[in-house]
Chain A
Amino acid sequence: MSKDIKISAKGVDVFYGDTHAIKNVDIEIENKAVTAFIGPSGCGKSTFLRCINRMNDTIDICRVTGDILLEGQDIYAKSVDPVQLRARVGMVFQKPNPFPKSIYDNVAYGPTIHGLAKSKAELDEIVEQSLRRAAIWDEVKDRLHQPGTGLSGGQQQRLCIGRAIATAPEVLLMDEPCSALDPIATAQVEELIDDLRQNYTVVIVTHSMQQAARVSQKTAFFHLGHVVEYGDTNKIFTNPEDSRTESYITGRIG
């Protein structure tokens, strides 16, 4: 394999009860790159994203078949603890959802429960580094013990990204991370995503075609549970192979 593959999905199907949400998806996600999932509402892109850190386990009627390998290891194997998996594969959601705790505690929570810090000084260091990487340190360093919920929406989302990277994950999943943010905060988060790919593999679900084009190197177009087309973002947005991809990105089908 010429490219460094971080996540490899083979023949993945997802069912919600009788509904067949994901149909035989094969995809290989590159290490330390940003991969965007695009597609109309209900196409399965968020469902598939949530398979990558087993968030779908929390839904009783949801059934996942096929293989999803993280660095060659089957994440659905019996030996894999989903809580440990989610420390390696972090997630940022559509709506910023800081814990009703201080800014410091929001970030310190993950490293504490996973026992990543041996001392208070080490924990302080992790918190600072995480907030720096999330490009919010300068804005919050003087108010670390104030509630995270008191920040602006854009700041809250960057705090959540800081919280997600505090457990030193390898992969960051982002489910429409900017849809509740204004254009300035969106630009800041996009800038951050671009920085993050030096250290992390990022997978982002977005409804903004332009955002996918701006932040990602690879794009997968989902439609009716299938991956219709997957390739270099530049190619997808200038000369896609499949007419359904073209129809979607040019605004001809919803």
Chain B
Amino acid sequence: MMDQEHIASAYDRDLDRVQSLIMRMGGMVETAISDAARALEMRDTELADQVRANDKLIDALEEQIASEVARVIAVRSPTAGDLRTVLSVLKISGNLERMGDYAKNLGKRTSVLSEMPAISGSGGALRRMTQLVNVMLKDALDAYIQRDVELAEDVRQRDADVDQMYNALFREFLTHMMEDPRNITACMHLHFIAKNVERMGDHVTSICEQVIYLVDGELPEDDRLKQDRTSYDISVSKV
């Protein structure tokens, strides 16, 4: 990236501003994810409600970023690295907004799950999976602000671990449901939670791809190894 400053210093301030909004939004999403995971594990419905309420702030920030970006495009006609910066800001804010939605959904399901008997063993696995995604998000945002392609690529590869954890949970919930039909409602909710966390990982991956695009000017060509095999899982049809 360009270390050099623009002749028009207000242009630098504009670009710094939209990027600092992204970092703020990223921080809010990190908090939402860890709070939602903690609320689920501790059956803390108050915290879950707070996560749901805070999602409005994340959404508002996305709108603010979109309008700031529109203004920069209209006024500055950004090119080259500057253009890629504003385009990546727009895409990353979209990814963060979706992640916020998934955290909010986790909060909603927590309220329902707290009324039901706990499913043994699922709490720890979901917590580990959510933590993994949150560390990935933190690293992706660091990679973004430091323009660190290597770190972005590393995070991108870590999504395979999230996929594998989701596969394992998928089978575990299936087993619980087959064992006792009374577990079905809770396991369905838990399965959606696991799936949503897995989707969060995909959004982090997309943020990493934006970092690579921002620095190299091209999206990575290679397809990542996809570890979520549940769509093809034969055991589903056996049930």
Q: Does A119 contact B (CB under 8 A)?
A: no
List residues of chain B with CB within 8 A of the CB of A252: 2, 4-7
Majority secondary structure of chain A interface residues (helix, strand, loop or mixed):
helix
Choose one: A243, A250, A253, A254; the contact of B79 (CB below 8 Å): A250
List residues of chain A with CB within 8 A of the CB of B80: 237-240, 245-246, 249-250
Q: Flag A53-95 by CB within 8 Å of B: 1 or 0 each.
A: 0000000000000000000000000000000000000000000
Q: Does A251 contact B (CB under 8 A)?
A: yes
Q: Does B218 contact A (CB under 8 A)?
A: yes
Least Cβ distance of A219 to chain B in Å?
11
| Measured CA separation A243–B93 after assembly (Å) | 28
Least Cβ distance of A105 to chain B in Å?
41
The answer to whether B8 touches A250 (Cβ under 8 A) is no
Choose one: B4, B11, B77, B84; the contact of A247 (CB below 8 Å): B4
Q: Does B83 contact A (CB under 8 A)?
A: yes
The answer to whether B217 touches A238 (Cβ under 8 A) is yes
CB-CB contacts below 8 Å: A199-254 with B: 209-210, 213, 237-240, 243, 245-247, 249-254
List residues of chain A with CB within 8 A of the CB of B77: 209-210
Q: Which residues of A contact B (CB under 8 A)?
A: 209-210, 213, 237-240, 243, 245-247, 249-254
| Measured CA separation A64–B118 after assembly (Å) | 86
| Measured CA separation A237–B7 after assembly (Å) | 18
Q: Flag B1-31 by CB within 8 Å of A: 1 or 0 each.
A: 0101111100100000000000000000000
List residues of chain B with CB within 8 A of the CB of A247: 2, 4
B218 closest partner in A (C-beta)? A239
| Measured CA separation A146–B5 after assembly (Å) | 52
Q: Flag B198-213 by CB within 8 Å of A: 1 or 0 each.
A: 0000000000000000
CB-CB contacts below 8 Å: B111-153 with A: none
What are 28 A-B pairs at a CB distance below 8 A? A209-B77, A209-B79, A210-B77, A213-B79, A237-B83, A238-B79, A238-B80, A238-B84, A238-B217, A239-B80, A239-B84, A243-B2, A246-B2, A246-B81, A247-B4, A249-B79, A250-B78, A250-B79, A250-B81, A250-B82, A251-B6, A251-B11, A252-B2, A252-B4, A252-B6, A252-B7, A253-B7, A254-B7
A-B CB proximity, top 9 nearest: A239-B217, A252-B4, A249-B79, A250-B82, A237-B79, A246-B80, A251-B6, A251-B7, A250-B80
Number of B interface residues at 8 Å Cβ cutoff, please give it. Answer: 17
Least Cβ distance of A8 to chain B in Å?
28
List residues of chain B with CB within 8 A of the CB of A239: 80, 84, 217-218
| Measured CA separation A57–B11 after assembly (Å) | 43
Least Cβ distance of A229 to chain B in Å?
11
Sample of 12 more A-B contacts, CB < 8 Å, known A237-B79, A238-B217, A250-B2: A209-B79, A210-B77, A243-B2, A245-B80, A247-B2, A247-B4, A250-B6, A250-B78, A250-B81, A250-B82, A251-B6, A253-B7
| Measured CA separation A237–B84 after assembly (Å) | 10
| Measured CA separation A209–B218 after assembly (Å) | 22
List residues of chain B with CB within 8 A of the CB of A240: 80
Least Cβ distance of B120 to chain A in Å?
53
Least Cβ distance of A208 to chain B in Å?
10
List residues of chain A with CB within 8 A of the CB of B4: 247, 252-253
A243 closest partner in B (C-beta)? B2
**Interface core residue of B4, B7, B79, B83 (most chain A CB under 10 Å):** B79
Least Cβ distance of A251 to chain B in Å?
5
Least Cβ distance of A31 to chain B in Å?
27
| Measured CA separation A239–B2 after assembly (Å) | 12
CB-CB contacts below 8 Å: B81-116 with A: 81-84
